[in-house]
Amino acid sequence: MTHSIYSYSLCIALPLMLFLGFYFLFASTPEKAIFVNYLRSRRIMGAALLLLAANYAVHFFFEIRFWNVHAAILMNLSTYFLCYWLFSSALTTLLDRFYITRRRFRVHVCQWLLFTALSGVVLLTFPEGVAQKVGLLSMGVWLMTYGFILARRLILAYRRAVRLFDDTHSDDIGAYIRWLSVFTYCAVIFGVGCSVLTFLPDEYIYIWVLSSVPFYIYLYCAYMNYLLFYEQVEQAFEQEMPSEGETPEATAGGELPACYAGIEEKLSVWIKEGGYLTKGLTLKELSDLLKTNRTYLSAYIKTAYRASFREWIAGLRVEYAKDLLIQHRELTIADVAERSGFQSASHFIRLFKERENCSPARWRKNRL
């Protein structure tokens, strides 16, 4: 590897990291109380990006990789460990505003200090040879295991949020936070790649640097796009979901408990009246309308229809849309989606394809 390739890669990545770090820290958000958690998440992410930018700057201006490779590896390992925690904390707090606590903060800082100290002992005091290689391998395994644990925690929080939305909202609110799942899997791949490249010969290091450019551009675009939907997602989080422990169990043989009898009758009337066509319908609104308990209503839908609230409403709307497609050939697909209560034509088409394995237009053509 020549110095030029390595320097050019850092020259490309460093300005981007500085811009993103300072933007995430200081860019304004809507002046509403509900955006406080979003702003906290973005500032934590900004701090992580500036920490990485500082790492890049040391490599770029002091070329530490060339005069003390062990010091460079130590700096990288310590930076990655701390950034793993900052990245996961920034994203997880978007799904759980109570995730960051003083106790958790102290635990992770102590783990980072211990990891850095042990890495320093291995790299700076162990003689080169088998002992040092085994020590470095152990630190690398520790780093990747730590990253996987944090990623798993984030994915579990994401899945809990999606289940909550599916059980309480007719619209696909989970689609607004899907980028968190995508980014987490990308971060795991990128993080493992960085950990491995840290120990590879110098001629491969520029791959590590250049690979960060599309990764952080995607992060920036995701945060900017999420700003448009954050308020709707956060409002959905604020609606309390009753405990699953309060849910009545089905009787032996799969029969519905007697407490569901009134719900079944009320729902039948509501379905006949086309109440499911109301846009933005939530479980709370339906339970208030039927004057019943949200927990019992949610449990009844899961037991009777084997589906979440969102899936059940989507099924009713698709069946209604089918009638419109046949009986009103003058209606466009967008008109059918609008009348059937879907968020948009694209959302309707996607759900229709999932259920019927073809588009609404093709389905209509085949039936006619």
Q: What are phi and psi of 2, to 5 degrees?
A: -90, 160
Q: Could you give the residue ranges of the DSSP H alpha helices within the chain?
A: 3-26, 36-62, 64-67, 69-95, 102-125, 130-168, 178-198, 205-238, 261-272, 283-290, 294-305, 309-327, 333-339, 345-356, 360-367
Read off the pLDDT band of 259 (50, 70, 90).
low
Q: 35-49, 260-274, 352-366 — which is least confidently predicted? A: 260-274
Domain ranges in the chain?
Answer: 3-238, 272-367
Whole-number Cα distances in Å, 18 to 60, 85, 128, 225 = 13, 20, 36, 20
For the four alpha carbons of 10, 15, 20 and 21, in that order, the dihedral sign comes to positive
Tokens linked to 253: 């043989």
Band the pLDDT of 1: cuts 50, 70, 90: very low
- How far CA 102 is from CA of 62, 89, 98, in Å, comes to 36, 13, 11
Alpha carbons within 13 A on the beta-carbon side of 368:
15
- Arithmetic mean of pLDDT over the chain: 88
Band of residue 240 on the pLDDT scale cut at 50, 70, 90: low
Query: 124, 135 in Cβ contact below 8 A?
Result: no
Residue with tokens 């900017």: 224
Q: What would be the CATH architecture of the domain defined by 3-238?
A: Up-down Bundle (1.20)
**Class of the CATH-defined domain 272-367:** mainly alpha
pLDDT by residue (tens digit) across 52-107?
999 888 877 877 777 888 888 899 899 999 999 999 999 999 999 899 999 999 99
For 13-17, 251-255, 259-263, which range has the lowest pLDDT when averaged over its residues?
251-255
pLDDT for the residue 201? 61
Q: Is the predicted pLDDT of residue 124 greater than 80, yes or no?
A: yes
Q: Each residue of 289-325: pLDDT tens digit?
A: 998 888 889 889 998 899 999 999 999 999 999 999 9
Q: How far apart are CA 23 and CA 330, in angstroms?
A: 50
The H-assigned helical ranges of 200-251 are 205-238
Distance from C-alpha of 337 to C-alpha of 131, rounded to nearest angstrom: 66
pLDDT at 199: 62
For residue 282, the cross-strand partners are 169
The whole-angstrom distance between residue 187's C-alpha and the CA centroid of its chain comes to 11
pLDDT in tens, 126-180: 988 899 989 998 998 999 999 999 999 999 999 999 999 999 999 999 999 999 9
User: What are the Cα distances from residue 78, in Å, to 112, 116, 173?
Assistant: 7, 5, 37
Those residues with Cβ within 8 angstroms of residue 144's Cβ, 6 or more apart along the chain or in another chain:
191, 192, 195
At 185-200, the pLDDT tens digits run 998 888 777 666 666 6
| Structure-token pair, residue 266 | 């009320």
